[in-house]
Amino acid sequence: MQDAPLYAIGDIHGHSDQLDQALARIAADGGAAAPVVFLGDLVDRGPDSRGVIQRLIDGGAAGRDWTVLLGNHDRMFLRFVRDGLLHDDRILSGKGWLHPALGGAATLASYGVQTSEDSASALDEARAAVPRAHLDFLAARPLWAETASHIFVHAGIRPGVAMDRQDPDDLVWIRDPFLDWDQPFAKTVVHGHTALDHPRHEGNRVNLDGGAGYGRPLFPAVFDGADWHLLTETGRELLWPRT
């Protein structure tokens, strides 16, 4: 991957309309061929997870320079349809993927499957409704990517562990000790997963999950030269590092 200019989009969570707007802002700023890293959590909570996945598949087929990472919600969706798994060991509350807090039912609804948290028929209906191409696409997603100066990952990394030795569960689920780490990483880490009211630059990491899964805007961002900017409706907005 080239280092700059490089665009990134945080957690989309099934909001295809916001994805279209983000891609339009990127095209206006850097052209339709601009390289983009998507930080995972393509699905759940929003109304059109199917549309989000299809747009990303279509973009890749059209030759777009897009790197799409896997998020924990994407993995839960894939594991449910392929393996019948409702629960992930990293969810300490015991909530399953179809619990309203996680948003799996909204994802299935985008494929025409109406279900509830305890629906026994959801698995069979999902296997009939979800295109194999969508499952294959998710299964092929990498867990991280890097440039000369940045590491891109959905949730974060375990401090002090080389990337080729990271636990895949950490890459899609970690919060602490990653979020509490105030020392420099080997490279600036760009991530999502932990929803904020607004994307934030923490100095050693950049969190681009501005809470689209909770009704807040999806902000695309660009690294160009030495700085990160958000792309807003009025243009670039410098994302100042916190000190």
Q: What is the pLDDT of residues 26-65, one digit of tens each?
A: 999 999 999 999 999 999 999 999 999 999 999 999 999 9
Q: Which long-range contacts (CB under 8 A, 24 or more apart) does 134-138 make?
A: 134/50, 134/53, 134/54, 134/57, 135/78, 135/81, 135/82, 137/53, 137/56, 137/57, 138/42, 138/53, 138/70, 138/74, 138/75, 138/77, 138/78
| Pairing state between β 220-224 and 227-232 | antiparallel
Query: Is 188 a residue whose pLDDT tops 90?
Result: yes
Please give the average per-residue pLDDT across 172-198, as a whole number. Answer: 97
Q: What is the pLDDT of residues 16-27, one digit of tens each?
A: 999 999 999 999
Q: What is the pLDDT of residues 69-125, one digit of tens each?
A: 999 999 999 999 999 999 999 998 999 999 999 999 999 999 999 987 667 779 999
Q: What is the pLDDT of residues 116-167, one digit of tens each?
A: 766 777 999 999 999 999 999 999 999 999 999 999 999 999 999 999 999 9
134 Cβ contact partners less than 8 Å away, ≥ 6 residues apart = 50, 53, 54, 57
Res 121: pLDDT: 78
Structure tokens at 221: 């961002």
| pTM confidence score | 0.96
Domain boundaries of the chain, sorted by first residue: 25-141+188-238
Res 116: pLDDT: 75
25-141+188-238 carries CATH number 1.10.150.130 = no
Res 115: pLDDT: 86
Query: Is 190 a residue whose pLDDT tops 70?
Result: yes
List C-alpha distances in Å: 141 to 1, 26, 56, 74, 162. Answer: 16, 22, 11, 10, 20
Please give the average per-residue pLDDT across 213-229, as a whole number. Answer: 95
Res 225: pLDDT: 85
Please give the average per-residue pLDDT across 194-217, as a whole number. Answer: 97
Res 135: pLDDT: 98
Res 4: pLDDT: 58
Query: Is 2 a residue whose pLDDT tops 70?
Result: no
Query: Is 3 a residue whose pLDDT tops 60?
Result: no
Mean pLDDT of the chain: 95
